[in-house]
Amino acid sequence: EDQVTQSPEALRLQEGESSSLNCSYTVSGLRGLFWYRQDPGKGPEFLFTLYSAGEEKEKERLKATLTKKESFLHITAPKPEDSATYLCAVQAWTSSASKIIFGSGTRLSIRP
Amino acid sequence: GAGVSQSPSNKVTEKGKDVELRCDPISGHTALYWYRQSLGQGLEFLIYFQGNSAPDKSGLPSDRFSAERTGGSVSTLTIQRTQQEDSAVYLCASSRLAGELSYNEQFFGPGTRLTVL
């Protein structure tokens, strides 16, 4: 069964303390892996798309990487405004169409 | 408009009543998606439109759920005979890309919080 698992469920860091969020997946026919940020009461905001193992994307303090089994979202020297839920999603190919599967997210909290 | 808008922002209804949720995508975006997000859960895909057509309805939980899109723009999600387990935030997203690429770079609305009493 196609599945996307994110860990940890929640992460509390001190401002400036770097860390990584994990997204592991088991899908057939990976078409793309997406990272989104979601603030409370709002819809998700697109961050990155990764298509193939070894690919990396960066945006400000965030860097996303992809292997054949998982993706990492690295957060370098985070600030309180980076506090949010980070969602990972995978676009997979089934017998006749693509489908998208979201993980449950990692709630990130950055203390000043 | 500047972004995806959804209405109403909140809806409280009684079990057994029908509800209609509306989504206005970003102008010119051909792909439109509906998702459901329950407390503490990831987004659950419901349905996808390319233009006015829905090539993928596989995510609709039951025949009580239906959706339509007109003029390649506004979409409505209708839930008939609502049940308490339908309580969730319903999110709409749009993308300017087409086909398989349209899953990329989705722009989400703020969602409609549905509570079924």
**Of A32, A99, A104, which is closest to B45 when you measure between CB atoms?**
A99
> Which residues of A are less than 8 Å from B58 in CB distance?
97, 99
Interface test with B, best of A23, A48, A98, A104 (most B CBs within 10 A): A98
Establish if A100 touches chain B: CB-CB under 8 angstroms: yes
pLDDT, one tens digit per residue, over A30-63 is: 889 999 999 998 999 999 999 999 999 999 999 9
Q: Is pLDDT at A112 greater than 90 in this prediction?
A: yes
| Amino acid A2: pLDDT | 84
Domain ranges of chain A: 3-111
Would you list the DSSP string of B13-68? E-TT--EEEEEEPPTT--EEEEEEE-TT--EEEEEEEETTEEEE-TT--STTEEEE
* B14 Cα to chain A: minimum distance (Å): 23
Distance (Å, whole) CA B5 – CA B13: 21
pLDDT, one tens digit per residue, over B56-106 is: 788 899 999 999 998 889 999 999 999 999 999 999 999 987 666 667 789
b/e for A6-23, b at 16 or more Cβ within 10 A?
A: beeeebebeeeeeeebeb
pLDDT, one tens digit per residue, over A57-66 is: 999 999 999 9
> What chain B residue is nearest to A103 in terms of C-alpha separation?
B42
Cα torsion A4, A90, B110, B86: sign: negative
Please tell me which residue, B55 or A71, carries the higher pLDDT value. Answer: A71
Q: Is pLDDT at A105 greater than 70 in this prediction?
A: yes
b/e for B52-76, b at 16 or more Cβ within 10 A?
A: eebebeebbeeeebebebeebbebe
Q: Is B91 in contact with A44 (Cβ distance < 8 A)?
A: yes
**Of B44, B55, B108, which is closest to A43 when you measure between CB atoms?**
B108
Interface test with B, best of A39, A100, A104 (most B CBs within 10 A): A100
Report the percentage of chain B scoring pLDDT > 90: 72
Phi, psi angles (nearest 5°) of residue A34: -120, 145
- CATH fit for domain A3-111, picks 3.30.565.10, 2.60.40.10, 3.80.10.10, 3.40.50.1010: 2.60.40.10
The CATH superfamily assigned to B5-96 is Immunoglobulins (2.60.40.10)
Distance (Å, whole) CA B46 – CA B44: 6
* B106 Cα to chain A: minimum distance (Å): 7
Domain ranges of chain B: 5-96
